């Protein structure tokens, strides 16, 4: 029996409701796969901030470092000015725990959930590897002449060779493992059949951001040409990426991009896979503490009503197991989610599932 110590930050809004279901499903998987979880809850988020003015004490970061993984519900509170909790908790954890990868799978589990006409599960199955520690998220920049008509606001994108290279290397390794063999941008399926390569698409803006993405492109080719000969290198501008996500999502296998572009395209990705009710992500430090979350946010409108979809949080738990090396248990949870989504759930949106939040958790746990 293997046991894992997991930190839980249920957080704000609907966070606690969906995390409860994720834990229910993980606990249900435990005995079957001979694993045990010791969950430690951390009270962080808007309520604690309003009560104590504390956002994220340094001592808590020190404690969190001792866990292999954190399960996070949601951060964001209508009573707190935007930015305080997001930057003070979510981004600070991503940065201080050096979770330099934000991994966001985009997978369609049933044709009914896709807003795109004629797209089937086999058409929508790709992964976005978002750089998670640099870019426009570092807070570099500042104001000059603030509050005057001459005001200047500068916000700079930070791209270090080290940061770009480790992100690209992670993406190449993932692409090599997946070996999806999908038709890549501009080439025909027959070509792939002949070469049997998987594909990594760099999503950037080399035509305008001629410093940042020049670095990305050079390192992309340097690593790919040298160490990943079984991976086909592909490039798409970020604006075109949004177009192809809608028109030809089947072209993509693994996509790698910077922090802000990754933030934007993964919301679009979440929609093509059926919305925030199903979209999960992992903030990954392969050598340290990683953090898994449903990407939908705190949804104040639905808080406490028992109508929010817990499948995204359950999928975050599944990603966590996969990261911990519990591949079989992770696959079993995914299979249970797919079964329940296909056979039972009317609609993935909050309030339209045909079941309560807890009932969906029960159904997935039972399907295991």
Residues that bind ligand IPM (CB under 6 A): 86, 90-91, 263, 295
Burial of 88 (0-12, 13-18, 19+ CB in 10 A): middle
For ligand IPM, give the closer residue by CB, 133 or 198.
133
Question: Could you tell me the smallest distance in angstroms from the CB atom of residue 151 to ligand IPM?
Answer: 24
For Mn ion, give the closer residue by CB, 183 or 296.
296
Tell me the per-residue interface mask from 166 to 205 with Mn ion, x by CB under 5 A, - otherwise. ----------------------------------------
Residues 244-283 that bind Mn ion (CB under 5 A): 263
How far apart are the C-alpha atoms of 195 and 163, rounded to whole Å? 31
In degrees, rounded to 5, the angle at the alpha carbon of residue 137 between the alpha carbons of residues 136 and 143 is 70
For Mn ion, give the closer residue by CB, 254 or 265.
265
Token pair listed for 351: 């309030």
Burial of 145 (0-12, 13-18, 19+ CB in 10 A): exposed
Question: Could you tell me the smallest distance in angstroms from the CB atom of residue 234 to Mn ion?
Answer: 24
Residue 90's binding partner among Mn ion, ligand IPM, none (Cβ under 5 to 8 angstroms by kind) is ligand IPM
Question: H helices within the chain, ranges in order?
Answer: 15-32, 46-52, 58-64, 84-85, 92-96, 161-178, 189-195, 212-227, 238-247, 259-272, 311-324, 327-343, 357-367
Residue 326's binding partner among ligand IPM, Mn ion, none (Cβ under 5 to 8 angstroms by kind) is none
For Mn ion, give the closer residue by CB, 102 or 303.
102
For ligand IPM, give the closer residue by CB, 295 or 341.
295
Question: Could you tell me the smallest distance in angstroms from the CB atom of residue 184 to ligand IPM?
Answer: 26
**CB distance 359 to 311 below 8 Å:** no
Question: Could you tell me the smallest distance in angstroms from the CB atom of residue 319 to Mn ion?
Answer: 16
Dihedral sign, Cα of residue 317, residue 323, residue 326, residue 327: positive
Residue 23's binding partner among ligand IPM, Mn ion, none (Cβ under 5 to 8 angstroms by kind) is none
Question: Could you tell me the smallest distance in angstroms from the CB atom of residue 15 to ligand IPM?
Answer: 12
Question: Could you tell me the smallest distance in angstroms from the CB atom of residue 132 to Mn ion?
Answer: 11
Look at residues 289, 320, 282 and name the one whose alpha carbon lies nearest to residue 35.
320
For Mn ion, give the closer residue by CB, 36 or 301.
301
Residue 86's binding partner among Mn ion, ligand IPM, none (Cβ under 5 to 8 angstroms by kind) is ligand IPM
Q: C-alpha distances in angstroms, 90 versus 110, 143, 158, 295, 321?
A: 31, 24, 19, 12, 21
Look at residues 246, 253, 93, 248 and name the one whose alpha carbon lies nearest to residue 171.
253
Strand-pairing partners, residue 9, are 72
Question: Could you tell me the smallest distance in angstroms from the CB atom of residue 90 to ligand IPM?
Answer: 5
Please state, as a whole number, how many other Cβ atoms lie within 10 Å of the Cβ of residue 170: 19
Residue that is written with structure tokens 């990943």 in the block: 228
How far apart are the C-alpha atoms of 25 and 270, rounded to whole Å? 22
For ligand IPM, give the closer residue by CB, 263 or 322.
263
How far apart are the C-alpha atoms of 336 and 360, rounded to whole Å? 11
For Mn ion, give the closer residue by CB, 102 or 318.
102
Residue of minimal Cβ distance to Mn ion: 263
Residue 28's binding partner among ligand IPM, Mn ion, none (Cβ under 5 to 8 angstroms by kind) is none
Residue that is written with structure tokens 């966001």 in the block: 104
How far apart are the C-alpha atoms of 264 and 269, rounded to whole Å? 9
Question: Could you tell me the smallest distance in angstroms from the CB atom of residue 73 to ligand IPM?
Answer: 13
For Mn ion, give the closer residue by CB, 191 or 267.
267
DSSP 133: S
Question: Could you tell me the smallest distance in angstroms from the CB atom of residue 332 to ligand IPM?
Answer: 27
Total of residues contacting Mn ion (CB under 5 A): 1
- Is residue 234 involved in binding Mn ion (CB under 5 A)? no
Residue 21's binding partner among ligand IPM, Mn ion, none (Cβ under 5 to 8 angstroms by kind) is none
Residue of minimal Cβ distance to ligand IPM: 86
In degrees, rounded to 5, the angle at the alpha carbon of residue 264 between the alpha carbons of residues 260 and 267 is 140
């Amino acid at each position: 029996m293997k046991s894992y110590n997991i930190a839980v930050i249920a957080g704000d809004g609907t966070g606690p409701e969906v995390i409860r279901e994720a834990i229910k499903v993980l606990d249900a998987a435990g005995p079957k796969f001979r694993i045990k979880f010791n969950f430690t809850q951390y009270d962080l988020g808007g309520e604690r901030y309003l009560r104590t003015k504390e956002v994220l004490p340094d001592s808590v970061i020190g404690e969190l470092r001792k866990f292999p993984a954190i399960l996070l519900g949601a951060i964001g509170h209508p009573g707190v000015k935007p930015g305080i909790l997001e930057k003070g908790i979510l981004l600070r954890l991503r940065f201080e725990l050096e979770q330099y990868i934000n991994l966001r799978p985009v997978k369609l589990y049933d044709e009914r959930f896709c807003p795109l006409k004629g797209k089937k599960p086999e058409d929508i199955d790709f992964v976005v590897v978002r750089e998670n520690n640099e870019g426009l998220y570092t807070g570099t920049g500042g104001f000059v002449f603030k509050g005057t008509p001459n005001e200047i606001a500068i916000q700079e994108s930070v791209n270090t060779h080290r940061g770009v290279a480790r992100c690209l290397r992670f993406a190449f390794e993932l692409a090599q493992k997946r070996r999806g063999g999908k038709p890549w941008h501009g080439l025909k399926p027959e070509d792939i059949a002949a070469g049997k390569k998987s594909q990594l698409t760099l999503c950037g803006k080399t035509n305008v951001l001629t410093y940042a993405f020049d670095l990305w492109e050079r390192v992309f080719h340097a690593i790919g040409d040298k160490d990943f000969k079984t991976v086909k290198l592909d490039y798409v501008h970020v604006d075109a990426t949004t177009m192809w996500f809608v028109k030809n999502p089947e072209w993509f296998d693994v996509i790698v991009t910077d922090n802000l572009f990754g933030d934007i395209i993964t919301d679009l990705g979440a929609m093509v896979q059926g919305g925030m009710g199903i979209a999960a992500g992992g903030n990954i430090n392969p050598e340290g503490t990683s953090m898994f979350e449903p990407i939908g946010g705190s949804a104040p409108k639905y808080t406490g009503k028992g109508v929010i979809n817990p499948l995204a949080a359950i999928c975050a738990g599944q990603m966590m197991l996969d990261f911990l090396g519990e591949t079989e248990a992770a696959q079993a949870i995914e299979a249970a989610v797919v079964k329940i989504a296909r056979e039972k759930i009317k609609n993935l949106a909050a309030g339209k599932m045909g079941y309560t939040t807890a009932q969906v958790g029960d159904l997935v746990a039972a399907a295991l």
